């Protein structure tokens, strides 16, 4: 696997072997990159939904703003993710999307995805698999929010980020960049910034993890996984041998 491959190609290779033509089709979705800044919105709730985008660089999140002024973060997107798939059947956006840090996105209209479906059976199946994977992430987030303690929520989310990053950077170490602020972690987990800070301090004192600004080091990954009751079934995705090309 070349480090020069696009993030979306590296991501899709987790699901199935890609032919040269498949990779060329994926590469065509990233031919018009645009830079986006930290805090910039890609779209807002109720905006027209006529395009997807690939996240080539940087992190982003989807969200819903509540009537009391609070924000619920729904999904966290990493490089290689396709944003907007869940709204393919809708005319309006179901949630807003904002950049967590500076990055690069590539927009493409819905009709371009239909063209990809016509040209590649394998990529059609992978796009369905990616959509299922995103649904599984949301389901696990719901369980995390509703049924786990504050410590378990934080441990689970951080370990999930670690495992997801391993997919796109398989040679990365236990020390990784986590650009989410304490406020954003709280918005994702339904906790206050104070609670996030107190729990992270506790993990440091127990020798489980260290957080220094935007960096996290897992001192004891197994202990963190146990704390978060992390099973990981929802991340073990992939497709068996495909036929029909």
Q: What is the pLDDT of residues 155-171, one digit of tens each?
A: 999 999 999 998 777 66
The whole-model pTM stands at 0.88
Give every CB contact of residue 84 below 8 A, 6+ residues apart in sequence. 49, 51, 52, 53, 97
Quickly name the fold that domain 7-143 has: Jelly Rolls (2.60.120)
CA distance 48 to 28: 23
Q: Which has more confidence, 172 or 31? A: 31
Phi first, then psi: give them for residue 215, nearest 5 degrees. Answer: -120, 140
pLDDT the model gives residue 8: 81
Specify whether the CB–CB gap between 227 and 208 falls below 8 A: yes
* Cα–Cα separations (whole angstroms), residue 27 to 12, 32, 88, 144, 245: 12, 10, 21, 35, 19
CA distance 99 to 40: 5
Longest CA span, the chain? 55
pLDDT the model gives residue 240: 53
DSSP 51: E
CA distance 126 to 239: 8
Q: What's the CATH class of domain 149-228?
A: mainly alpha
238: confidence class by pLDDT, cuts 50, 70, 90: low
Digit-coded pLDDT (tens) for 204-221: 999 999 999 899 999 999
User: Could you tell me the residue ranges of all domains in the chain?
Assistant: 7-143, 149-228
Give every CB contact of residue 14 below 8 A, 6+ residues apart in sequence. 167, 237, 238
Pick the closest to residue 158 from 80, 219, 100 (CA basis). Answer: 219
Digit-coded pLDDT (tens) for 168-201: 776 678 999 999 999 999 999 999 999 999 999 9
């Amino acid at each position: 696997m070349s480090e020069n491959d696009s993030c979306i190609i590296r991501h899709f290779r987790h699901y199935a072997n890609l032919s040269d033509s498949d990779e060329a089709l994926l590469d065509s979705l990233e031919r018009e990159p645009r830079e986006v800044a930290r805090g910039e919105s890609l779209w807002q709730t109720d905006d027209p939904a006529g395009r997807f985008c690939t996240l080539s660089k940087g992190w982003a999140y989807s969200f819903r703003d509540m009537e009391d002024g609070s924000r619920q973060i729904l999904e966290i997107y990493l490089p290689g993710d396709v944003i907007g798939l869940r709204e393919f059947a809708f005319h309006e956006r179901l949630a807003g999307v904002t950049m967590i840090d500076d990055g690069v996105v590539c927009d493409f209209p819905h009709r371009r995805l239909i063209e990809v479906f016509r040209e590649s059976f394998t990529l059609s199946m992978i796009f369905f698999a990616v959509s299922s994977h995103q649904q599984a992430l949301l389901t696990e987030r719901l369980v995390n929010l509703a049924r786990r303690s504050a410590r378990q929520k934080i441990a689970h989310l951080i370990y999930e980020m670690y495992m997801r990053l391993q997919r796109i950077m398989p040679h990365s170490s236990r020390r990784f960049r986590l650009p989410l602020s304490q406020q954003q972690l709280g918005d994702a987990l339904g906790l206050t910034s104070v609670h996030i800070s107190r729990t992270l301090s506790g993990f440091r004192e127990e020798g489980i993890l260290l957080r220094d600004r935007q960096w996290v080091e897992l001192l004891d990954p197994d202990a963190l996984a146990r704390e978060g009751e992390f099973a990981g079934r929802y991340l073990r995705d992939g497709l068996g041998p495909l036929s029909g090309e």
